[in-house]
Structure 1
Amino acid sequence: MSFSILVVDDEPDVEVLFRQQFRRDLRAGRFRMEFATSAPAALQRATEVREPSLILILSDINMPGMSGLEMLPEVRAKRPDVPVIMITAYGDAETRKKAIERGADGLLTKPIDFTMLRREIDTRLGQAA
């Protein structure tokens, strides 16, 4: 089975950064990374992937239109089986509290600690296998 991670961020450099950080994993076929540049696009993609291969959603909080925090309850309602980790430049206690209250499984602050994120992905892959 092929596993996917959905990354949601309106910044175009994010896809390049994630593909670079996980290039060995992607080449080896450990998982695929899909990218959505808005919350509505992410909701659509999360709904389309019906098999259990979607193992994690990583979403920026601050995006134009629908924010990641606004998307969170909707994606949790549509895909309660998929963990969601929010990403923000503002890792204050209030943001963390809001994210957890709305269903986030965690919160990463920018700049992203890719070593920690890799451990999280490894854990999700282990649980899905």
Structure 2
Amino acid sequence: MKLLFVFAYSGEEALTCLKDLDHEAVLILSDINMPGMSGLELLRQIKEEHHEPPPTVMMITAYGDAENYNTAIRLGADDFLTKPLDFSVLKEKLKAII
């Protein structure tokens, strides 16, 4: 299986990347706190605009507070990870998706 990784440095850039891709996005890892558009706003737009099928979205934050968690889940996040990331846990989650 061949994977293509695309990196965006803002929520706005991520939305542009999604629109410009010539294939289906399978997974999006997004920080909650980003310059410009927040990761939560990016999540909301992804879930509203990409329906067939929507990509898996994992939110990442340095702040594991209940408010961010509840908001992310309500907006449709498939998972919520806190920094520092445990890469062995992330690897297992990625294997389950792919």
TM-score by length of 1: 0.69
Q: Which has the larger radius of gyration?
A: 1
Partner of 2:35: 64
CA distance in 1, matches of 2:50, 2:18: 7
Runs (4+) of structure 1 exceeding 6 A deviation are: none
Please say if 1:55 is aligned against 2:26: yes
CA RMSD of superposed structures (Å): 1.4
Partner of 1:45: 17
| Secondary structure at 1:66 match in 2 | coil
Work out whether residues 57 and 83 of structure 1, in 8 Å CA contact, stay in contact via their aligned partners in 2. Answer: yes
Work out whether residues 57 and 85 of structure 1, in 8 Å CA contact, stay in contact via their aligned partners in 2. Answer: yes
| Secondary structure at 2:16 match in 1 | helix
Work out whether residues 96 and 107 of structure 1, in 8 Å CA contact, stay in contact via their aligned partners in 2. Answer: yes
| Secondary structure at 1:84 match in 2 | strand
Structure having the larger proportion of residues in strand: 1
After the TM superposition, which residues 1-40 of structure 1 pair with which residues of structure 2 at under 5 Å, given as runs?
A: 2=2, 31-40=3-12
Cα offsets for 1:12-54 (capped at 9, x unmatched): xxxxxxxxxxxxxxxxxxx2321100000001111222423x2
Unaligned runs of 5+ in 2: none
CA distance in 2, matches of 1:107, 1:73: 15
Please say if 1:87 is aligned against 2:56: no
TM-score by length of 2: 0.89
Task: Calculate percent identity across the aligned residue pairs.
Answer: 46
Cα offsets for 1:59-108 (capped at 9, x unmatched): 00001111001111101122232010000000111110010011111110
Unaligned runs of 5+ in 1: 3-30
Partner of 1:97: 70
Please say if 1:124 is aligned against 2:97: yes
| Secondary structure at 2:15 match in 1 | helix
Aligned partner of 2:49 among 55, 61, 78: 78
